[in-house]
């Protein structure tokens, strides 16, 4: 009798768990099949003055990036810490999957031969929120980390370090749970870094051959945002600001960015 009750209990538990498990498997299979990948900035040919407290720089409009980018030489590392958002489906949700990604990276703003980057994707589908940690050496695809989980409100530090122009490391640490994962790149043949850009970005990334529908990610704030050069550590003051726009210009704004002080990048969904 006890065995029968136990069997029924396990069956019921499996039935309850199945929808979520099936959804996660489907999402994983979709990411693998579609080839999830970040892209260099897709920019318009115009910039415009940015007024107000974040007027350190002209704004560059982009259809896939929002955030801040340093432009110079000899950048070998980038780090930043952010709180995992609780994303929402945008107004007029039609049941599609909506996503965005917060990441730090080297190159991709003025140099497009390679990007060393790592970050966290946040997705909403049918009311269910999911998070995926990944690493990437563009133009190769992104690959998911295993062994790390996230919940809304977790504090996460993302870091990349270049050991050469064809090698480096990508590390993500969930400060709230203590989980930490890292990947080492060696002798990348797909492309070489220029080490001329350091970025803190929220991206409308690519799956298949198109950008994913953008999720309402609220606000992502990168704190302790610093880059490393051969001369030492540099902050974000004076970084190029990038706003995301469906039109590639001042109309159709989807996300805005600003820099606060020397160590904070604020990205807001509009």
Residue 15 in 3-state DSSP?
Answer: helix
Q: Who's near 55: CB < 8 A, 6+ residues apart?
A: 49
Neighbour tally for 145: CB within 10 Å: 19
Cα(59)–Cα(111) distance, integer angstroms: 18
For 53, list phi and psi in degrees, rounded to 5.
Answer: -65, -20
Write b or e for each residue in 236-257: b if 16 or more Cβ atoms lie within 10 A of its Cβ, otherwise e: beebbbbbbbeebeeeebbbbb
Q: Who's near 258: CB < 8 A, 6+ residues apart?
A: 50, 53, 54, 241, 265, 266
Q: Are strands 206-207 and 210-211 parallel, antiparallel or unpaired?
A: antiparallel
Catalytic residue among 136, 195, 199, 203: 203
| Structural tokens at position 185 | 């790149």
Cα(59)–Cα(69) distance, integer angstroms: 11
Q: Is 203 labeled as catalytic in the residue annotation?
A: yes
Q: Which 8-state DSSP code applies to residue 149?
A: -
Residues with a known catalytic role: 203
């Amino acid at each position: 009798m006890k065995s029968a009750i136990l069997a029924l209990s396990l069956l019921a538990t499996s039935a309850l768990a199945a929808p979520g498990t099936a959804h996660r498997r489907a999402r994983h299979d979709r990411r693998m099949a579609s080839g999830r990948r970040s892209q260099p900035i897709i920019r318009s040919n115009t910039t415009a003055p940015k007024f107000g407290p974040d007027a350190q720089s002209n704004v560059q409009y982009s259809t896939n990036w929002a955030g801040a980018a340093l432009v110079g030489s000899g950048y070998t590392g980038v780090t930043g810490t952010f709180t995992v958002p609780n994303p929402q489906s945008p107004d007029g949700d039609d049941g599609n999957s909506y996503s965005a990604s917060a990441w730090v990276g080297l190159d991709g703003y003025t140099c497009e031969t390679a990007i060393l980057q790592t970050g966290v994707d946040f997705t909403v589908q049918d009311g269910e929120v999911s998070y995926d940690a990944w690493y990437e050496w563009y133009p190769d695809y992104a690959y998911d980390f295993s062994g790390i989980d996230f919940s809304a409100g977790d504090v996460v530090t993302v870091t990349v370090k270049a050991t050469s122009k064809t090698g480096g490391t990508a590390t993500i640490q969930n400060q709230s749970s203590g989980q930490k994962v890292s990947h080492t790149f060696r002798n990348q043949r797909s492309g070489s870094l220029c080490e001329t850009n350091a970025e803190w970005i929220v991206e409308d990334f690519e799956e298949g051959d198109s950008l994913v529908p953008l999720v309402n990610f609220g606000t992502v704030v990168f704190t302790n945002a610093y880059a490393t050069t051969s001369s030492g550590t540099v902050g974000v003051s004076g970084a190029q600001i990038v706003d995301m726009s469906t039109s590639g210009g001042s109309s159709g704004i989807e996300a805005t960015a600003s820099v606060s002080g020397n160590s904070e990048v604020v990205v807001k969904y509009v």
